[in-house]
Amino acid sequence: MKVNLIILIILLIVIYPSYAVETGTIFITSQPVGATVIMDGKNVGNTPLPLHKISKGKHQIKIILKGYKEITKEINVLPDNTITKNFVLQQGDGSIEIKSKPQNARVIFDKTDIGKTPVKLNKVPAGTHLISISMEGYKTYVQKVNVESGETTRINILLESLEYVDAKFSKLTIKTLPPDAFIYIDEKFIGKSPLLEITIETGKHTMKISKTGYKVKKIDMEVKDENKINEIKVSLQKSKNFNQNYFSVIIPLVIIFLFILVVIFKKKRSSSIKSVYSDKKIRSVGKYTINNKIFEDNFFTVYKGKHKNTNNEVFIKLPLTHLVQDPTFNKYFQENMEIWKGLQHPNIVSVYEYGLEKTLYITTEFIKGKNLEEIISENEIINLKQSLDIIYQITLALSYAQAKSVIHGDLKPADIFLTTSGQVKINDFSIYKDLYSYSINSIGFYKGQMQYMAPEKLEKKPLDFRTDLFSLGIILYRLFTGELPFEGDTPHMLLESQYYKEITPMKTFNPEVPDQIQEITLNLIQIDPNQRIKSIEQLIKLLKGIKDNL
């Protein structure tokens, strides 16, 4: 009797709680992903949030993402029921502050009269807006302005007096590379580049463009057509602190000196690596033995290796000797290896181990196949369906990484492996993201594949998932055409091509490219990140639709 009673008590203890608290489940995603989910005041993770158990009843959910409006929603959870919620986030508001000289000029903002200068307008939706500033006796100033979420855009205009009643006016757009240059027309400050569709009197004018660190440029121009938007594009040259004749002598000497240093350095490095790894007793790192060398780039040497116990093949990546001795690189290496190791996805190369033993090292899964650079360079035929599938698999990996707030940062064909079974594997996730800036600062030049870099990376601006989308667009263009949309031997030349070159339609090189693919590619390689596809999920949906209809 006592035994039966004890068994009954144990069963009640084990079984009762599952019935005492009735629960349901909830799946939460958002567009864009990566938003923080606050449930009943507690942070439960980021979107997309996997199936999450939650007690029955009413709960409050907040979706928060920087630069977007916060969403608050109340949900009612029923027992043993699954709720799916998809939140579409709207970009937040910014503000705009407009001043003029003289003051008391009338301001029209998106066809609405908002008063006279100086004026400040809060809660302005992020995006492009049209302002018009007018005052009797002065030329009307019209300009498109871009308002960023959470930021204040400041406009300070010097109005020009009307000298002639019968004066004729036209529109003028001024763009410079790099942007944010000071623009003066007829010795009067107009604003910072780019200036879009400003009103200017027809006739001859003198324009001066200045920017710190660059040569002042003066241009004599004539504005003729009243019914046409005149456009001027100017590429600024970096200023020189020494006499040109001095440069003509010293630069060749410096180049020769650097060449000698590079030759000496390579010989030393080669002998150093050989001395470290020629002895069989020390040809290992961690749990792995080092075998034959596969290739070497500006930062790493890659070897084929094996696990000491299982004999499983791996890639072993060793930073070059001079980098291992650099504390800045060491810190960068440790931080980014941890990020890459945390990514577990079928389309991302897995990191097995990293650390410091004789040198810094990384071991990753061994890929049997070729990278996309090899496939394209060897002119191997990739049909339309296979090409689309490659791009589609890449987007799945990028979407997964973005959900974990990680970007690749240096995506290029050499990083994309295609296994013998047709599976895509993206290599070097995150580790090259900032090495462009590092190489410029530490070495003074960069020999990487810049052609796949977004303008914001070349200009050392903040990067996000849209940076990877730009690189993907360049890869897509080359995969379908065999050509590159932009070219340049230096960062400055490549930027100039990106800003000013008219992109050749993909169908010019390959008439079989679907119209949708051409449209998607042109969208991905927009110079302004805000003009690119808004989310990776949107791109996945578009690609899947094309794939399903082939």
149-208 residue pLDDT tens: 778 888 888 887 765 444 577 788 888 888 878 888 888 777 778 777 777 778 888 899
Burial label, 365 (beta-carbon count in 10 A; 0-12, 13-18, 19+): middle
For 48-64, the pLDDT digits (tens) are 776 678 888 899 999 98
Query: What is the spatial distance between Cα 38 and Cα 48, in angstroms, rounded to a whole number?
Result: 13
How much helix, strand and coil, in percent to the nearest 5, is found in the chain? Answer: 30, 35, 30
Element (H, E) at 313: strand 313-319
* Ordered strands of the 313-319 beta sheet: 284-285, 288-296, 300-307, 313-319, 359-365, 351-357
The secondary element (H helix, E strand) that includes residue 480 is helix 465-481
Name the strand (E) or helix (H) holding 82: strand 82-88
- Report DSSP state, residue 179: S
Least confident of 122-126, 328-332, 493-497, 542-546: 328-332
Q: For residue 48, is the peptide bond before it cis, meaning its omega torsion is within 30 degrees of 0? A: yes
Neighbour-count burial of 465, counting CB atoms closer than 10 A to its CB (0-12 exposed, 13-18 middle, 19+ buried): buried
The Cα–Cα gap between 541 and 536 comes to 9
- For residue range 9-18, list pLDDT tens digits in order: 665 554 444 4
- The predicted pLDDT at position 164 comes to 43
**Interhelix angle 384-403/465-481, nearest 10 degrees:** 170
What CA dihedral angle connects 132, 532, 535 and 336, to 10 degrees?
A: -120
Q: Cα–Cα distance between 140 and 111 in angstroms, integer?
A: 14
The per-residue pLDDT for range 430-471, each reduced to its tens digit, is 765 555 444 433 333 344 468 899 998 888 788 889 999 999
pLDDT (0 to 100) of residue 265: 56
Rg over alpha carbons for the chain, rounded to the nearest Å, is 30
Residue 452 · residue 473 · CB < 8 Å? no
Q: Does residue 511 have a cis peptide bond before it, meaning omega lies within 30 degrees of 0? A: no
Look at residue 51 in the predicted model and tell me its pLDDT: 67
Check whether 269 has a pLDDT greater than 60: no
Residue 18 DSSP class: H
Percentage of the chain exceeding pLDDT 70: 82
Give the span between the Cα atoms of 183 and 487, in whole angstroms.
28
**Could you tell me if 498 and 455 are in contact, meaning their C-beta atoms sit under 8 angstroms apart?**
yes
What pLDDT score does 391 carry?
Answer: 94
Q: Is pLDDT of 253 > 90?
A: no
Nearest to 192 by CA among 159, 230, 155, 160: 155
Q: Among candidates 321, 320, 356, which has minimal Cα distance to 337? A: 356
Phi, psi of 206 (to 5 degrees): -115, 125
Residue 534: which H helix or E strand, with range? none
Span 252-266, average pLDDT: 64
Q: Highest-confidence range of 99-103, 143-147, 446-450, 458-462, by mean pLDDT? A: 99-103
